[in-house]
Amino acid sequence: MAASKILVSGGVDGKIGKLYKRVSSVIAKAGPFDALLVTGSFFSSDGASDDAWSDFSSGARRVPIPTYILGPSTEAQRRRYAAIGDHGGELCTDVIYLGPHGIMSLPSGLRVAYLSGCFDASRFGAPPPNVQTTEEVEAALASPGPACHCTAASVEALEASAASSASHGKVTDILLTGHFPSDALKYTRGAASQTLGDQRNGGLAAARAAMALRPRYHFCAASAKFYERAPYQNHARNAQPVACTRLLSIAPVANPAKEKWLYAFTIVPAKAMDPVSLAAQPEGHTPSPYDALTRNAPRGQTESFFFGTQRERTGATTSKRGRDGQQRPHPGKRTKYAIDPRPNTGCWFCMASPKFEKHLVVSVGDACYVAIAKVNMMTAVLLRG
């Protein structure tokens, strides 16, 4: 399978004519390219002042390359998507709205995951303030929410898709998000934080998606500056290496600071690569910046490095919220976990590992197990995994 040539742009924000003018010039010099991926908003924030869109949507002009875009990031932009709904589709010839979230394959064989919408911490995973009963809370958390905001339900759906893909040996080549991920600057030098400004805080939704999917490339929209992070590893210590992730934040189209807003690269689909080349660790890579998410997240909301699991939403329903705002499961209902089919062969304590000594286990709970220590025994010595 041949390598694919891909273009990635930052948020267009309605500057559609300028985008395709530059893309046409690049194609003439270095083309052809297989696809254009757009991070951030394709349309203007008011959903009305979109340069040249009427020409493209009417068929008077053709876009020069198949273009894949994310969903609306403001309520006003939703009218541009009204004709096809919230589930994705073609807005005009060769301009494809991917949808709120999902994983799709390009004709070239690349697997592309996407998470549309902006991130609002006050909305993410929280029911509206006017709900009171248990039934209302459950209905609110299960609903998709505003189409311009990414929701906890969307992220959990991506996490479930990631677990399913991993069980079949499928690798995500590219992840597109509309916002910068939180914690992404961990293990990087301090100059990057100053360069990115208010972008450095990021959003939990993109971070969780990146942690679950472990893409080879993660492209997100920048508020102002172009930024390319050092590659980071996606495997736990002493585990079998997997492909690293390269995170790039692309500046807005035609920005006045002339930051880089169009990125071109060549990539071979993971399914066409041999496992050794795919898992090669580049020089200068760092540990995963999202390791703290697993350690600090409430039980059942993220993957467990011990169990390698993903919560099944059917296993527990929420009945109330604690003082810290986190959901609490119904009493008596156990959260279900599925064993990760990818054993951590380097870890003695991972239950999915061939080295795991099950005869030492005393009891297995929802999020931990208790086992006899592997060392010489003394009175009341137990190991909590």
- Residue 148 belongs to some domain of the structure: yes
Look at residues 158, 176, 149, 152 and name the one whose alpha carbon lies nearest to residue 247. Answer: 176
Q: Between 226 and 297, whose confidence is greater?
A: 226
Is position 366 within any domain?
no
Domain CATH code at residue 97: 3.60.21.10
pLDDT of residue 292: 80
Residue 368 lies in a domain: no
377 located within any domain: no
Asked if the structure places residue 226 within a domain, the reply is: yes
Contacts 24+ apart (CB under 8 A), 161-167: 161/102, 161/103, 161/113, 162/113, 162/212, 162/213, 162/214, 162/310, 163/212, 163/303, 163/310, 163/338, 163/340, 165/103, 165/111, 165/213, 166/340, 166/341, 166/342, 167/341, 167/342
The predicted model scores a pTM of 0.73
Residue 51, domain extent:
4-291
Residue 342 lies in a domain: no
Tell me which residue of 124, 130, 176, 179 sits closest to 146, measured CA to CA: 124
Residue 66: pLDDT band (50, 70, 90) is very high
In a domain? residue 9? yes
Q: Mind listing the pLDDT tens digit for each residue in 127-137?
A: 545 545 555 54
**pLDDT tens digits, 130-171:** 545 555 545 544 444 445 777 888 899 999 999 998 888 899
The pLDDT tens digits of the residues spanning 252-302 come to 999 999 999 999 999 999 999 999 999 999 999 999 999 887 655 444 444
Please give the pLDDT value at position 348: 65
The answer to the question of residue 150 being in a domain is yes
The tally of domains found in the chain comes to 1
pLDDT digits (tens, 9 = 90+) for 67-123: 999 999 888 888 899 888 778 899 999 999 999 999 999 999 999 999 998 887 776
